[in-house]
Chain A
Amino acid sequence: MTAKPAEISVDVEANIAAICARYGNRSDALIEILHDVQETGGHITRDAIVGIAAALNISRADVFGTLSFYDDFRTEPVAAGMVKLCRAEACQSVGADALAARCDANGIAHETVYCLGNCALGPAAMVDGRLIGRANEEKLASAVRHAKAEG
């Protein structure tokens, strides 16, 4: 981040201000605010960080410090249809690692999560908020197609 405050566009500023206002511009609601901002834009831009810092009256370093701690928050766009594949122990015990390897071989983009709370129906995965139990590459490929079609 540069030391000089960036100029941010009027639209972004208004949107950020509206989101922060929903939480009374309280800095303790920063994580909720970051979730909402990410839901509207897909990721959290530098402009958004500047806008949030201004609205909550905290430093940009405070905002960036918090967002960089949490795996959920992204500062770069992510392609639609990313599979969140559980790689924790319960899913390992029913072949999650082998499933990840088959996803790689079949060009199914995936990222690691630890536990989706579906430990009796593993391997578990989530695509676009949809939970998938007893996952295999066919189910995942179909969920990815569905997610991409919905855009």
Chain B
Amino acid sequence: MVRVFIPRDAAALSVGADEVAATFANCIAQRKLDVELVRTGSRGAFFLEPLVEVEVGGKRVGYGPVHASDVPALLDAGVLEGGAHDLALGEVEKLPFFAKQERLTFARCGVIDPFDLSAYGQSGGLAGLRAAQKLKPEEVVQAVTESGLRGRGGAGFPAGIKWKTVLEASGDKKYICCNADEGDSGTFADRMLMEGDPFALLEGMAIAAHAVGASEGLVYIRSEYPHAIAAMNEAVRIWQDAKASPNFTIEIRRGAGAYICGEETSMLESLEGKRGQVRAKPPIPALEGLHGEPTVVNNVLTLAAVPWIVANGAKAYQDFGMGKSRGTQPFQLGGNVKQGGLVEKAFGLTLLELIEEFGGGTLSGRPVRAVQVGGPLGSYLGTDQLATPMDYEAMAGIDAMLGHGGVVVFDDTVDMARQAQFAMEFCAAESCGKCTPCRIGSTRGAEVIGRIREGQDVEANLALVRDLCEVMEGGSLCAMGDLTPQPVLSAINQFPEDFQAGGRA
């Protein structure tokens, strides 16, 4: 029996993975071959999708990108024995894109059947939960604190300190809320993990529940990810049937198309069935979160990092990274890049290494001109800034942020005045409306940048935009209004020529 692996990750499906799998199934039946088709998540080399892997001599040999019409020829070429073909890539883990990565959180993603709990256990899964259950709650919190794990949602708050607050808080009930509503353009790691290794997230949540004394968990998933929602529902059903965490129940909740619900207090409002308007802090959610009870709110990647930390020890995780940014970060490389995908690597990798060594330059073949890091609220960087190591402090040092680790590449055709205007338009579209500078300022900001693009009173209008940005930064409750000035001001500061009369517009 030969095993053939074909992803069912949404990105792989978006370029025909289901058609490839169906054709394989047909050919296998017609030719009466002894083959087991296994559907996996994606390993995250999206430029190779649909990536078909064949297990040969205990190794996984890859072919990609495969089109459904290639399948008969692949079988003729003897792919089941790892035969040569134009699409042959050799051993997948030795491909340069993967060989240079440090996969802790994403070790299983794209490798195993995401709904096979025994395969999960055989590949290192559940070791963290079992280890945690032998420890006292405060010892688990201590391990997570010592590992240096910081919130991967963007703010980078130390996870252990948040957990300690919830552990020490008193409440009738405590909750673990997983924020899977990360809607930053350029990020797809949450989606990949939920589709490709959902048990890792459930295990992380179960460990968190043990650490803080929570009985109920909720995963709030953005509705733009229907495949992830379906995968998580299936995984929760299997997890609960197997009684993998008997004293901790998990429920999947759908978002409804509001970017702002990626903000933690707005997400809590939404989980209570209300409009997703942000709450003022204090009180912090750790003390008064969902239904007013102590609540851990962590991002998917934060929670999914926990099983490895508890299984392998805080020290082992600490050994990755630099400065105050410890461990690995799943960087997500997207936009105008030849080899886009997921690169999990210790903090400290530079943008240049990411874009050139992993990404292979732009898709269009034109020079890179700008890179946006950390989503729509992150700064645009110029090519002279790409040697900056990616860690929280180094990025802050150049007025940028790592955010959720999304990196979007633009070539030299980009009009940065248009991008600055879009940042304001996006804020206007997605503001929850609670704070005036965010709600109204963004609309006025888009208008003023529009005038600059038309060449009207450029200097005076640029001064007005800077002034407006200061008001938004200082006068908004959450990151939406507070950080929208980042892409706007960085575009103005790094690419001033695009804002001058007769610029690119």
Q: Which residues of A contact B (CB under 8 A)?
A: 26-32, 34-35, 65-66, 69-73, 86, 88-94, 113-122, 124, 126, 129-134
User: What is the chain B residue whose CB lies nearest that of A92?
Assistant: B422
| Chain A residues, CB < 8 A from B332 | 119-120
**Pairs A-B, 5 closest by C-beta atoms:** A120-B340, A119-B334, A30-B273, A88-B185, A133-B14
Docked-complex contact B275 and A120, CB < 8 angstroms: no
Residues of chain B lying within 8 A (CB to CB) of residue A115: 183-185, 187, 224
Q: A93-B410, A117-B224 are in contact. Are A88 and B14 (CB under 8 A)?
A: no
Q: Please tell me if B341 contacts chain A, counting CB pairs below 8 Å.
A: yes
Docked-complex contact A121 and B15, CB < 8 angstroms = yes
Give the nearest-CB partner of A38 in chain B: B256
Question: 11 more A-B contacts (CB under 8 A) besides A30-B273, A94-B364, A133-B14?
Answer: A27-B273, A28-B273, A29-B273, A31-B254, A31-B255, A32-B253, A35-B256, A86-B185, A119-B185, A119-B186, A121-B340
Cross-interface CB contact of B414 among A28, A71, A93, cutoff 8 Å: A93
B408 touches A89 (CB 8 A): yes
- How far is A28 from B223 in the complex, measured between Cα atoms in Å? 17
Contact A121 B335 (CB under 8 A): no
Q: Is B13 an interface position by the 8 A CB rule?
A: yes
CA distance in complex: A71, B254 (Å): 13
Q: Which of B10, B271, B364, B419 contacts A89 (CB 8 A)?
A: B419
Q: Contact at B256–A117, with CB atoms within 8 Å?
A: no
Please state if B10 and A118 are interface contacts (CB–CB under 8 Å). yes
Interface pair B259/A114, CB less than 8 Å apart: yes
Is A119 a contact of B273 with CB atoms below 8 Å? Answer: no
A22 to B363, CA, bound (A): 48
User: Can you list 27 A-B pairs, Cβ within 8 angstroms, ordered by A?
Assistant: A26-B273, A31-B270, A31-B273, A35-B223, A65-B274, A65-B275, A70-B258, A70-B276, A73-B256, A86-B185, A88-B376, A90-B406, A91-B185, A93-B336, A93-B409, A94-B335, A94-B336, A113-B257, A114-B259, A117-B190, A118-B10, A120-B11, A120-B337, A121-B15, A122-B335, A126-B224, A131-B14
At the interface, yes or no: B496 with Cβ under 8 Å from chain A? no
Chain A residues near B422: list those with CB within 8 A.
89, 92
CB of B216 to closest CB in A, whole Å:
12
Kindly state the separation between the CA atoms of A20 and B225 in the bound complex, as whole angstroms.
Answer: 24
Are B224 and A113 interface neighbours, CB within 8 A? Answer: yes
Of all chain B residues, the one with the shortest Cβ separation from A26 is B273
Q: Looking across the interface, which residue of chain A has its beta carbon closest to that of B426? A: A114
Name which residue of chain A comes closest to B275, CB basis.
A69
Interface size of B in residues (CB-CB distance below 8 Å): 62
**Residues of chain A contacted by B334 (CB below 8 angstroms):** 90, 119-120, 122
Tell me which residues from 176 to 235 in chain B have a Cβ below 8 Å from any Cβ of chain A.
Answer: 183-188, 190-191, 223-228
The reply to whether B191 and A117 contact each other, CB–CB distance below 8 Å, is: yes
Whether B46 sits at the interface, judged by CB under 8 Å, is yes
A129 CA to B223 CA, complexed, in Å = 10
A128 to chain B: closest CB distance in Å?
Answer: 10
A91 vs chain B, min Cβ distance (A): 7
Q: How far is the CA of A119 from the CA of B223 in the complex (A)?
A: 16
Instruction: Determine whether the beta carbon of B341 is less than 8 Å from that of A120.
Output: yes
Mark out the residues of chain B between 115 and 143 whose CB falls within 8 Å of any chain A CB in the assembled complex. Answer: none
B411 part of interface (Cβ distance < 8 Å)? yes
The answer to whether the Cβ of B291 comes within 8 Å of any Cβ in the partner chain is yes
**B473 within 8 Å of A (CB atoms):** no
Kindly list chain B residues whose C-beta atoms are within 8 Å of the C-beta of A26.
273
Contacting A at CB under 8 A, from B30-82, are 46-47, 49
User: Whole-angstrom distance between the alpha carbons of A120 and B359 in the complex?
Assistant: 10
Q: A32-B254, A94-B336, A122-B334 are in contact. Are A132 and B187 (CB under 8 A)?
A: no
B187 touches A117 (CB 8 A): yes
Is B147 located at the chain interface by the 8 A CB criterion?
no
Contact A117 B11, beta carbon cutoff 8 Å: yes
Nearest CB on B from A64, distance (A): 10
Q: What's the Cα separation between A111 and B468 when bound, in Å?
A: 30
Closest chain A CB from B461 CB (angstroms): 23
Check A124 against B14 for contact (C-beta < 8 Å).
yes
| Closest Cβ neighbor of B342 among chain A residues | A120
List A contacts of B276 (CB < 8 A). Answer: 69-70
Q: How far is the CB of B65 from chain A (nearest CB, A)?
A: 10
Residues of B within 8 A of A129 (CB): 226
Residues 270 to 285 of chain B near chain A (Cβ within 8 Å): 270-277
By the criterion CB–CB under 8 Å, are B408 and A93 in contact?
yes
**Which residues from chain B contact A73 at a C-beta distance below 8 Å?**
256
